[in-house]
A and B are shown apart, each in its own frame.
Chain A
Amino acid sequence: MPTRPETASPAVVETAGLEVHYQLQGGALSRLLGLRSRTVKAVDGVDLQLRRGEVLGVVGESGSGKTTLGRAMLGLAPTTAGSITYHGSDGAAVVSDMKGKALRRLRTDVQMVFQDPGAALNPTMTIEQAVGHPLKIHGLASGEELTRRVHETLEKVGLAPVERFADKYPRDLSGGQKQRAVIARAIVMGPEVLVADEPVSMLDMSVRAKILQLMLDLKDELGLTYVYITHDLASAKYFCDRVAIMYLGRVVEVGPTEEIFANPKHPYTKALLGAIPDVDPERQVARDLPRGEIPDAALPPLGCSFHPRCPVAREECGWESRDLRPLLETHWTHTDGDAADFEAERAVVGDLDSFDTPSSTVTVGRDHEQVSALLDRIRAEDPDEPFWTGVARAEADPSGGTRLTFHEPVDPRLRRSGGVDVACVRYGEDPQ
């Protein structure tokens, strides 16, 4: 079990309102016409503190921005807004303002371990060259000193006897050995912080625990601080002191590991914990997996990003026009009416594509009477569907259809609740 710091130690890396947005290129036509390209919000306002000596887990589905967050900490991903501050031995430095030389020097202190050990090593370099190269680049060692330090590091990560591995090329090693070499390359300069981006997800089950144990041993030996990025909550539970749950570029819940696992608050955290396979047949947990897919990060849902998938969403969670489509589609796929019913209802609703522009008001169909009747039927099928709480008014539109007005969306920020910070309208007190 890793040692848990009782008192909060000072932050070593701090992000404040960190945003990493990527411009999408768009199609050939829109580029030719110079149309505005879309922006993907990979990381969208993250405030995190990495405390010295801790293991901070960053957990989320693919596309939640966890890898981008890790890359941004090394300055590998461009910061578009907000800041990352590194508190090193010689004072605080703002990573997001660094360029060229300063950024390269930062990497003697902040290092990264990659997901795919097979791709992270240069195929034309031997293990000894690869591990020693950081020292050579930064002019930290040369000649015999270089060889000595490389061999020492290789021994530390368990690639011993060193003579057996030093002259090997990456293709001659197994996945676990390659990952050990990648770790050796990351620690050879004696860094403060190690960002480990899913370091074990590409490895065999039998090797995973060994690599994680190695990383814990190295942490104690070298006084490292880890950012452990993963989609695997089970390994996070074993490995981390604190866990931050990410969803669509935001941190939705962050707190001590025991607290999060014992008493998850955010509905997304609950869903993730429910998805951990349980070996005990007696303790079958209800599998309330979130419905649907992770939404488009270029056009995230209004209000709380998780509300379309949330089983306990409320009226202010940000219901909007785009939520109508899955509602209607579920209705049509789940009822046993014949094809004529579907055709008739389809005609009542009219153009489905008009719902795709995010908006808090939407006009459905051409005939208020028929649309209301249809909506009532759908509501009768599943009265508990949280969508209906979000509808503030349904009234006749001058154009003839039904105009639905949704409640004003509330975008929840991280708020203190119990031992954790959680971004959900159901928890925490408003600062006012």
Chain B
Amino acid sequence: MRFLHTIWHTKGLARYLFWTGVVLTLVFVVLALFAHWIAPYDFAERRVDGVRFPASEGPSAEHLLGTNDQSYDILSRLIWGARTALQVVFGAVIMSAVIGVPLGLFSGFVGGWFDRVTVFLMDALYSFPSLLLAIVFSFMLRDVLGGSIVAAALSLTAIYIPQYFRVVRNTTVSARESTYVEAARAIGAPPRTIMGRYLFGNVVQSVPVIGTLNAADALSTLAALGFLGLGIQPTEASEWGYDLSRALDNVAAGDFASAFWPGLAIILFITALTLVGEGLNETLNPTLRRRRLQKVTFGPRPSREEAIR
């Protein structure tokens, strides 16, 4: 609750960053959640009542943003794309936190050879370029899960686990030596309780910041995978990166719209998530935070008689 209080009362640049990001993100979230009602057509729909949509046509009353070369409605693909992006990014961030945080907590607490091995493995994962790693994982998962949303989310999960692991593990190692952990031992708390009740609450505080910043990164990686044709199959869901790569061929032929809109959506959503992340970072990270002193204004001074009365 204190956390929300801090965010609400932040002043200055951090506040504007944060709230701009939140509003933009909310727009995408609303589009994603209510795509059924908002989008005029389904993402894979190209004929209504047996009449096929025109290909590569400009805006019209039926197609507000026009259609692309495959006769899909650009606006519908855009809105359904928001849903895909949200599903994949949300899934990836949640899963990597759910795996990375307990692993880091355990590893930092028990130490010893287990800690050494996991730190080594995580550092090895971390040292790969994230896109390369995502490509490798999506190749590996393609046989098992096909080009589905789950497969994309899983391959992104693998990239981000090391980040949560490292942050949580390092804060655990320093918190492990603190007096309140010694006090927990002194009252007879078993290791499970020490990790769950004493360390967890004190080491997860930077996780929301990493989470939102990772979300922005995950989105760009997803788009890159789609652009390379390694992401979600076009039959499974609408994906901005894939649409962008298809549309690029037609730009030379003068069809800008089908490349412009998915590109803009990618940029806006990444910006929104980054702003939320940076805003949170500014607000919650005490080394960066600078709280403004609030001006105190007094009312007009009461006259002597009033004061006495």
Contact = CB atoms under 8 A, between A and B. Distances in A.
Interface of A: 74, 76, 103-108, 111-112, 114-116, 119-125, 133-134, 137-138, 182, 185-186, 189
Contacts, number: 61
Given A122-B197, A124-B202, A107 B186 contact: yes
B307 to A, nearest CB: 32
Interface of B: 178-180, 182-190, 193, 197-198, 201-202
B180 A122 contact: yes
Q: Is the interface of B mostly helix, strand, loop or mixed?
A: helix
Nearest to B184: A122
A202 B178 CA distance: 16
A290 to B, nearest CB: 30
Nearest to B185: A76
B124 to A, nearest CB: 23
A133 B179 contact: no
A121 B185 CA distance: 12
A182 B202 CA distance: 19
Contacts of B188: 103-108, 134, 137-138
Given A76-B186, A105-B188, A133-B189, A123 B179 contact: no
A107 B185 CA distance: 9
Given A108-B188, A112-B183, A119-B180, 20 more contacts: A76-B186, A104-B189, A105-B188, A106-B188, A107-B188, A111-B187, A114-B179, A116-B179, A120-B180, A120-B183, A122-B183, A123-B180, A125-B197, A125-B201, A133-B187, A137-B188, A137-B189, A137-B190, A182-B183, A189-B187
Contacts of A138: 188
18 contacts: A105-B188, A112-B183, A114-B179, A114-B182, A114-B183, A120-B183, A122-B197, A122-B198, A123-B180, A124-B201, A124-B202, A125-B197, A137-B188, A137-B189, A138-B188, A185-B187, A186-B187, A189-B187
A280 to B, nearest CB: 38
Contact of B187 (A103, A116, A123, A137): A137
Nearest to A118: B179
Contacts of A114: 179, 182-183
Contacts of A189: 187
B208 to A, nearest CB: 15
Nearest to A189: B187
Contacts of B187: 107, 111, 133-134, 137, 185-186, 189
A235 B237 CA distance: 75
A107 B193 CA distance: 15
Nearest to B2: A169
A122 B198 CA distance: 6
A189 B189 CA distance: 13
A341 to B, nearest CB: 51
A112 B186 contact: yes
B200 to A, nearest CB: 8
Nearest to A182: B183
B172 to A, nearest CB: 14
A298 B193 CA distance: 35
A115 B179 CA distance: 9
Nearest to B205: A124
A124 B198 CA distance: 8
A226 to B, nearest CB: 15
A112 B178 CA distance: 15
Contact of B186 (A74, A122, A123): A74
